[in-house]
Amino acid sequence: MAAVILPAAADTSPALFEKGSPVGPSVGQTPGSYGFYFTPNQDVRVAALGAFNYSSYSSGSALVEVWMQGAVSPETSAIVPLGGTGTDEGSFDYTFTTLAGPAQATLTAGTHYILIWKDNQGTAVQPFADGVHAVVNGPIAQYDVPTSTPGLLTLNYSYSFILPTSPPPSLIGINPWDEQHVNGWSKSIINGDPTEMSVNIEVVALPELPGTGLLVAAALGGLAIIRRFARK
């Protein structure tokens, strides 16, 4: 009986952040955009985007986007609904929107990206303002710094961008990457605890295409046969 060769399964990865300790029921609403620079360690597919939800202290939604350096539009985006009825710390946590179809963008290994909470209106803006309350599920490093720590993503920097009040706050039509050195950004190299951890991302590694191993073996075998006949 011939052996059955199954396609390689996609490696799974936890969300980049998870709540690690209580944050307390009293939270503020600070206008601005929050997010992170990150680098995939291998090609990945975006499975979900999220934002931190303070339940009854939050309302509206968060527009979460992934941008690549130099791009004119986001790689992918999601609207994350916020709100709830809870007032205790136990009801605060990350809320995710699962992506499907073309929204499951592929991010390329070694390319730098920004994960950003893009909109800044109303009570949807709730910074997870103390990084000690979160756990980072991946290595932390500066750009282009090799790391042997396991993880599909490397976290590079955290940042916040406080928008002006006049004209009305907006980042519409702006690649957040292009604003990183403009006055208004608060950028920090992460050494352990990021200060704003309001957005989140889940990714999966791209699996090997079904039958790839067999196709490569067949191609090599065919090449060997051609060379054998060529020598005769």
User: What is d(CA 95, CA 80) in angstroms, rounded to the nearest whole number?
Assistant: 7
User: What is d(CA 212, CA 208) in angstroms, rounded to the nearest whole number?
Assistant: 7
pLDDT tens digits, one per residue of 43-76 = 999 999 999 888 888 888 888 999 998 888 999 9
Run of H or E including 200? strand 199-205
pLDDT tens digits, one per residue of 134-167 = 888 989 888 888 888 878 999 988 877 766 665 5
Task: Work out the average pLDDT over 160-186.
Answer: 65
- Which residue type, as a one-letter code, is found at position 22? P
**Most confident among 62-66, 103-107, 207-211 (mean pLDDT):** 103-107
Q: What is the pLDDT of residue 61?
A: 86
Q: Is this prediction's pTM over 0.85?
A: no
Do 59 and 82 form a contact (C-beta atoms < 8 A)?
Answer: yes
Quickly state the pLDDT bin for 223 (edges 50, 70, 90). very low
Quickly state the pLDDT bin for 132 (edges 50, 70, 90). confident
Do 89 and 23 form a contact (C-beta atoms < 8 A)?
Answer: yes
